[in-house]
Structure 1
Amino acid sequence: MAAGEQPEHIRGSHFAKLGLQGDFENLNENNGPYWVLLGRHNLTLPEPLDQVIPVEKFIIHPEYNDSNVAKCYDIALLKLSHSAKLTPEVKPACLPPAGYTPPHGTKCYITGWGTTSTGGSVSDVLLEGLLPVVHYEHCSQPDWWGSTVKHCHICAGGYKVSGCIGDSGGPLNCPGENAEWEVHGVTSFVSACGCNTAKKPTVFTRMSYFIDWIKEVKTEQMGGLLVAGCVDMEESQILITGVDFRKWC
């Protein structure tokens, strides 16, 4: 996560608001096996309550295009080999209603262990950054992201704080309609000109755009777990992540 500048690949995933890292860079069948590390705050310091869980199955959106991440569909679902143990450090996230987008200026937060500047080092500890929502009509203006941004995306932040390499697949948490925190975005891409480039806010896969697909996959291929709303104790086997992270200038 940058408070200055940046470029290219990042990794991460979430069903929790805090403390989850999975190594899913270039997610595909040939790069496995995959696993997730839950409950960790400082990646360099093993903690007694760490949970390391193998990934049993993953499903990438069928329309995902590795050569054009900005086309949309940078989203995948992971099923763990067994449910995570819910603790104060590992908590389920809430998903927004289908189609809902937070209003322009809504104060949202990105979390991750990404680089803290363009070309800089990754962070050992989990960082949080305030990223206000930039509505589609503004973010898609020609001197901003233009046609690179689609309705399946949500933009957030500005040139002072942004996502960066290492943050991909992590959550954009925003207050929901009922004041509960919800995951409204999955970190997808930033500008190749730098993480904190003016008029190039961080672009996220918009979660509410894919609620119906998540529901379909969970029902037909992952055992019929949650749809929208909050994950409960029986639904702590499914994680949501991005497939790849690219930089676009």
Structure 2
Amino acid sequence: MTIFDISLLAMAAFFAGIVNSIAGGGSFLTFPALVFTGVPTIAANATSAVAVFPGYLSGALGFLKELRDFPLRQWLVLLGLSLLGGVLGALLLLITPASVFAAVVPWLLGFATLIFALGYRVSAWAERNIKAEGFTGNFATLLVCIYGGYFNGGLGIVLLALFSALGMRDINLMNGLKNGMSFVLSGASVVTFALAGIVVWPQALLMMVAATIGGYCGAIVARRLSAGVVRAIVVCIGLAMTVVFAAKTL
């Protein structure tokens, strides 16, 4: 890595930690930064997942009270589906040819950006129109977790929409479940990526440290900058990256 690469990756991860702690969407910064510094797209996706992985645990611990009141059996089912979905999504990524993944990336980024931009509206629509219960709810949860293991972008908003469809209304509980499930499925995918040898560890370790620092600073920034402003910035970045990656496929 050059000094420029180190600086770019550290800065991207730092700001990813900040936006993840305020509004989510840090993958829109870490993934493109890795690709820009020469990391192949599949390895960049895996390394990006490693970079933002630790922040999910602290996020879940922040809602520990709500999680303790959640029925243990349902919690274990959700965690089990997260574990399975994370592994399946990671394995799906591993068997995807690099050329195919490169072609799919703009669509994934565009979808994630759209979901992120319409976050609350998506959740409200799911609450009004979808009633996912029993097997249907578990199957939908598994599909979302597979998506998260394959491509992490926009996962938090998709999970919140899913919880609305499952009939949940407590936003603090939903955020706690979102962070806990994201931690488990990301952990499963990270282990899978590591065993497959596609994680670029020097970059991953650098970005993990920077993202952790950014996550801490995010709490300070949150008091001075509205989540709406941060969300607007993330959406603009997501749209720009979608256009850039789409142009590369032409």
* Structure with bigger RCO (C-alpha 8 Å, 6+ apart): 2
| TM-score, length-scaled by structure 2 | 0.26
| TM-score, length-scaled by structure 1 | 0.26
Higher strand share: 1
Higher helix share: 2
